[in-house]
Structure 1
């Protein structure tokens, strides 16, 4: 599998399916067929439209497209995306609301590097912007990073987070979403030992595999079943000649997407079929719930091979974070060194990726942190996606996280509320999709 031919073959399959969809849509849309009494013609056009859109989205990085903020002054305030710190494998970006003074409450969202772009946190950003200045780790697609930029593994990821936290200063509140939770915990511990003045004010860990063995899932079982040699042989490929990262070893986004879909194949298949019926009936729209969800869900990025393999080997198999044996740049990280950063964990009762128990395990590892600086919350009906986006996040989890941040603000800074309201008509993920 470690050949450019395998990488280019997957792109050929994707391209062919997109072409077949476009061809079917075009042929079935000829004016000559307009008066045809056969419903098969409309179904063919609908199938082509859904297929073409789905396969084209797989190679597109979604826009942040943050809606403007409506202020009490009666004006709309545009939201700009600014690069605060630029690095080869990922940037630190800020969402700047024009015409608004800096907020006392500042939040860094650590986005996953697990197949999707950081824009997966769009609705999370939208929900937090009225009450905070928001920063996000915007990871780059590995296929676009030249081989000359070097490697990027779990240690490099951790050091990136350390640099981002130092750049933002000690008044930052960090929220790590899913996959980066253990590495964000390690980065905070590294700061606590090496640069205490740069530690964040609070750390919120949402649905992350701090201790994968605390509650088994299909993801953790997979990591146990296969050897590292099998993973490298079956999952790793070289980027093809179409991209700037030609020759770089990656875990391809298209291969990751096939894994995502296979976990809920029946649900995704039903959602696609229902969308075809909706298009044929004329009840679908360009920005309906299905398209909003799948435009993001199907957009995938390649992951550096060394990051993927070291994550499986060191976080899932070796349990280096869970057993407090994680080494970064030759230095043994001690989670117990965190003594002043308030830590909260959030889990979803129906999370089938990071099951309840995996994330809250972090609190037992914080041996140097007083109990009054520890907190945990379980959202009983939320799945993996719901604990950071959608109704469960907006109604229940977000208010609790903001209260936790305010309760541990410290110093003289009192997080203020904005008079801005984010206008967003995003209804959240499709009810037909379980993620």
Structure 2
């Protein structure tokens, strides 16, 4: 019961801060306040605006906001989201572009389950849509999944990827981002033995902890310092009465958000201070750069306790993927069995979450793969976010990934100038 009390207390604190922000904004923006020419009221109203929006966004699932894509015919084509496969803890969705011939490139984006929604990859999806059929793993918030649906750990996650890859078929190309990188590698190896014909043509691994010991970061150091008992006591809570998943043990997204923000606390504090000043001066807008970023960054979801704890135990502490000792459903997965899937790794030189060396370790594990089917890239000056959604992705990494896909497709696709994707 203490875990549930903690969960509801934290939710009460969030609601209180959202209310305080709304109250400050309403009181300071009242017409009567205009009679007193004191800039403090503008500052208080600006603080209230930013505070209310920030704490409200924490429990709001962002929309995809991808409405149209410009086709080769120069026309806007409507984009709709269709659910290809629905499962209790996550769906496989397809961004269907209406009235456009199907693209030969068929890409599956494996989104991380690390506290944020799959919409964190919205810009990645947008950048790929003009040149590919784009599918993505859309993970559900654990607080909204009834306890009756059972558990979900990293083995279940891996088997979900296996099912999604089977559904996609052998002419697909998988791009895994961050946390699921080692599990996407394991899922491909699992298929190599169980269903070789369902393997994708290529596997691109971006900034993931295949071997966390290859390069230390604050994330890997934390995993080493705490025991599993300490971690469970500190991080795990039981979903409160407000949600459909009441009683489910989870790692709350708010705790994950707090840990990520603490890694760059000065930068985040400065960003919010500057936004309050812009708001007070009337220079802020609903969709300015600050709001576009933090509307997504602050929207967090809970992970099941068993998924979070098994990830720390088996990926970071025991290094089961790095040692090629990972077991799924009682079967040892041998990454050396991958022989036909071309594998490429992408790392950011300034990545402080999955440092260079952690991801490229995947290539050494692929002992059954020829050098011709292996590739790696380290992006100079790029941090963790930039390698899949920032300027580095748009200008350098995306073209390299598409070229890698084409080079390992049976029918290479003619490259063309990228078209604009309109987002709301």
Shorter-chain TM-score bucket reads over 0.9
Which residue of 1 is the match for residue 315 of structure 2? Answer: 315
Which residue of 2 is the match for residue 176 of structure 1? Answer: 176
Distance 2:386 2:340 in 1: 29
Which residue of 2 is the match for residue 398 of structure 1? Answer: 398
Q: Is the 8 A contact 1:71 1:420 kept in 2?
A: no
* 1:176 match: secondary structure: strand
Q: Point out where structure 1 has 5 or more consecutive residues left out of the alignment.
A: 427-435
Which residue of 2 is the match for residue 201 of structure 1? Answer: 201
Distance 1:418 1:349 in 2: 29
* 1:262 match: secondary structure: helix
Distance 2:139 2:2 in 1: 23
Q: Is the 8 A contact 1:72 1:420 kept in 2?
A: no
User: Cα offset for 1:179?
Assistant: 0.4
Q: Is the 8 A contact 1:113 1:179 kept in 2?
A: yes
Greater CA deviation, 393-402 or 256-265? Answer: 256-265
* 2:377 match: secondary structure: strand
Q: Is the 8 A contact 2:130 2:421 kept in 1?
A: no
Distance 2:25 2:13 in 1: 18
User: Cα offset for 1:422?
Assistant: 3.2
Distance 2:67 2:381 in 1: 29
Aligned: 1:87 with 2:84: no
Which residue of 1 is the match for residue 221 of structure 2? Answer: 221
Q: Is the 8 A contact 2:130 2:418 kept in 1?
A: yes
Q: How does 1:28-47 map to 2 (within 5 A)?
A: 28-47=28-47
Q: Is the 8 A contact 2:111 2:136 kept in 1?
A: yes
Aligned: 1:116 with 2:127: no
Distance 1:225 1:419 in 2: 49
* 2:419 match: secondary structure: strand
Which residue of 2 is the match for residue 69 of structure 1? Answer: 69
Which residue of 2 is the match for residue 327 of structure 1? Answer: 327
Which residue of 2 is the match for residue 273 of structure 1? Answer: 273
Which residue of 2 is the match for residue 371 of structure 1? Answer: 371
Q: Is the 8 A contact 1:68 1:422 kept in 2?
A: no
* 1:192 match: secondary structure: helix
Which residue of 1 is the match for residue 252 of structure 2? Answer: 252
* 1:346 match: secondary structure: strand
User: Cα offset for 1:258?
Assistant: 1.1
1:329-361 deviations in Å (ceiling 9; x for gaps): 000000000001000000000000000000001
Aligned-pair RMSD on alpha carbons? 1.3
1:303-341 deviations in Å (ceiling 9; x for gaps): 000000000000000000000000000000000000010
Q: Is the 8 A contact 1:278 1:284 kept in 2?
A: yes
Which residue of 2 is the match for residue 389 of structure 1? Answer: 389
State how many pairs are aligned.
424
Q: How does 1:42-61 map to 2 (within 5 A)?
A: 42-61=42-61
Distance 1:203 1:256 in 2: 28
Distance 1:281 1:173 in 2: 48
* 2:300 match: secondary structure: coil
Which residue of 2 is the match for residue 421 of structure 1? Answer: 419
Q: Is the 8 A contact 2:213 2:220 kept in 1?
A: yes
Which residue of 2 is the match for residue 431 of structure 1? Answer: none
1:27-81 deviations in Å (ceiling 9; x for gaps): 0001011242211000000000000000000000000001311235453211101
Distance 2:35 2:290 in 1: 29
Distance 1:389 1:273 in 2: 25
Distance 1:217 1:3 in 2: 29
1:378-432 deviations in Å (ceiling 9; x for gaps): 001000000001110000000000000000002xx33356898333479xxxxxx
Which residue of 1 is the match for residue 129 of structure 2? Answer: 129
Q: Point out where structure 2 has 5 or more consecutive residues left out of the alignment.
A: none
1:59-117 deviations in Å (ceiling 9; x for gaps): 00000001311235453211101000000000000000111111110100000000000
